[in-house]
A = this chain, B = another copy of it.
Amino acid sequence: MTVYKAPVDDYMFVLHELLRVQELASLEAFANVSADMTRQILEGAATFCEEVYHPLNAIGDEQGCVLENGVVRTPDGFADAYRHYCEAGWNRLGAPEERGGAGMPGVVVLPASEFAVSANAGLSLYSGLTNAAHATLARTGAEWMQEHVVPRMVDGAWSGTMCLTEPHCGTDLRLMKTRAVAQPDGSYRITGTKIFISGGDHDLTDNIIHLVLAKLPNTDGKWVDDLATVNFFMVPKFNLDPSTGRMLDRNDVSVGGVEKKMGIRGNPACVLNFDGAVGYRLAGGASAPGKQSSSAGMAGMFAMMNRARLGTGIAALAVAEKAAQNADAYARTRVAGKSRPGSGVPHTISEYPDVKRLLMRQRAFIEGARALGAWVSLQIDLEQASNDAAQRRRSGNLATLLTPVIKACFSDGAFQAANDAVQVYGGHGYIRDNGVEQFVRDTRIYQIYEGANGVQAFDLVARKMPAQGGGLVTTFLDEINATIAEASLVPALDACTAALRDGRDDLVLAAKWVAASGGDEHGDAAGGSYDVMSIFGVVAIGLMWLRVAKVAWDRIEAGEGDPRFYRRKLALARYWVQRELPLTRVLLERARLGNDGVVDLAAAHF
């Protein structure tokens, strides 16, 4: 049996001391944001997740989702818990008020999302995907969808999915075989097979709104392997009357199977068969009624993918948080070794330096990554909400650059943290009833979801870094340099500041090397991409730790707050800059090898 306590205090620190979101009240989106309000939301979400979602986590893993008579049945208790979640409004904190949501900025919604995933990764995925889907529909759907579909998804009565992958193709969308045939009434008939569809069917909601990639014939009427023919469609499980939104008969979408998965077993990965199912093209939507186009729909799809990538990173972190809490609790109670003379206290394994190292590594990663995720989430908010065009551009640059980094580096670090938890438990970690091995199985997917981490690395070096002539990287470096300048005023932080400076220098060299290496998918930058991405991850978390350390130092100096909290943060910052930041040197050396020694080994040699 596992434990979970939502990290409310840590998020209060991140939002209101580190990011100081309360000072953004001049922006309309942040008008209602205060520390009191945030704490109220976070404590409510924490209680719900701890008491309702968390107890169903092991049950979800044990029972999994079962296909019966063509319908997927979720584990015991999921349907009730999901209904309570939506009734309490936790699913729609971030949805626009005009569509029934609470209209909170993303950075305030983020903690509640993390708590839900920590408590129950499988169960929270249904609403996570639904939120991504209705936000996409809101951008790209026709007016009747805005009016009749989006509100039902916002209130949780209906859920949403993303249907991209097919049996023979995932990342390479060109190879897709699902076809869409235009009908005289403006709708389409969709035919094809999609796989790995999370929440593809279930018994939590009355209807499911599938967002589906499918091909149209080209201008010659032929089906070709060309990305330009791929379009984006809405396909409901039950047909809808566009004029009223009323549910009609069952659409021709059926569940071909539910995969047996390594983890996230509370959410089904479905095979969905579309057999001439009624679909509607998403081509720009109400926001630009005169400009409906395929590219608008695809842009919506990519926007959805970007949100999903960030969400994947945060989800990974969420499971890591729970794993670390359990490792810590176990290490403090497991007796081994001789008590220190005269102490009278049993010696627990948490006293061993190598166990401490594992606990510290988890914490330094998780809390540094949490700050980074929140900071990037804030950039996404500011990109929309800021009144300052330069700020909007800078924020957009940071979010764009760091999205693949967060997705990949958070999932890599979270997987390590989950494994560290098992290691702390020793043999007991390998036993299912103790619950921690589930975190390993659950976190393993986040390195794959929404584009495997190698694809993220290529996206970083081939698209994000070259964009705007390297402008995104420059914006990021400006942030690092400003932080270094500010922290340099505090001599006590000199070691941390120097370490970040070294990390920055390696990042600059990596960026120069990438710029000189070109973005071809077989080029040197591709060969070095993973190491380059890892440099960004280590440095970005290091940047956050220096900022955290500065805040913590200032608070201690000022005699404000609980000094134990801040001293702990300083210790974790030190851990990261001493033990993780120096990795950039080796990462840089390796990155610059590019394809040397990798590609020159002909495939035939294996």
Binding site for B on A (CB under 8 A): 165, 168-172, 174-175, 195-196, 259-263, 269, 328, 332, 335-338, 350-360, 363, 415, 419, 422-423, 426-427, 429-433, 437, 440-441, 444-445, 447-448, 452-454, 457-458, 521-523, 526-527, 529-530, 564, 567-568, 571-572, 574-575, 578-579, 582-583, 585-586, 589-590, 593, 595-601, 603-606
Contacts and interface: CB of A to CB of B under 8 A. Distances in A.
Given A448-B423, A568-B601, A596-B578, A172 B354 contact: no
A605 B567 contact: yes
A34 to B, nearest CB: 29
B601 A360 contact: yes
A328 to B, nearest CB: 5
Contact of A427 (B170, B358, B429, B575): B170
B522 A351 contact: yes
A228 B473 CA distance: 63
Contacts of A353: 522-523, 526-527, 529, 595, 598-599
18 contacts: A259-B431, A262-B437, A263-B430, A269-B431, A352-B521, A353-B598, A356-B598, A358-B454, A360-B597, A422-B444, A422-B448, A423-B447, A423-B452, A440-B440, A440-B444, A571-B605, A578-B593, A582-B589
A557 B300 CA distance: 59
A493 B359 CA distance: 42
Given A165-B427, A605-B571, A357 B527 contact: yes
Nearest to A62: B260
Nearest to A528: B353
Contacts of A601: 356, 360, 568, 571-572
A578 B597 contact: yes
A427 B262 CA distance: 11
B597 A590 contact: no
A212 B419 CA distance: 30
B527 A335 contact: no
Give me the 3 closest cross-chain CB pairs, A-B, nearest first. Answer: A354-B454, A353-B527, A262-B437
A153 to B, nearest CB: 25
A540 to B, nearest CB: 19
A368 to B, nearest CB: 14
A82 to B, nearest CB: 23
Given A572-B601, A582-B586, 17 more contacts: A170-B427, A171-B426, A172-B337, A261-B430, A262-B437, A269-B430, A353-B522, A353-B595, A354-B529, A356-B598, A356-B601, A357-B598, A419-B444, A568-B605, A571-B605, A579-B593, A585-B585
Chain A residues touching B, majority SS:
helix
A583 B582 contact: no
A346 to B, nearest CB: 10
Contacts of A444: 419, 422, 430, 437, 440
Given A262-B430, A448-B423, A335 B168 contact: yes
Contacts of A578: 590, 593, 596-597
A448 B432 contact: no
A597 B359 CA distance: 12
A262 to B, nearest CB: 4
B590 A172 contact: no
A336 B169 contact: yes
Contacts of A574: 597
Contacts of A441: 262, 441
A345 to B, nearest CB: 11
B433 A448 contact: no
A595 B523 CA distance: 42
Contacts of A419: 415, 444
A432 B586 contact: no
Given A423-B454, A585-B585, A571 B597 contact: yes
A269 to B, nearest CB: 8
Nearest to A357: B598
Nearest to A454: B354
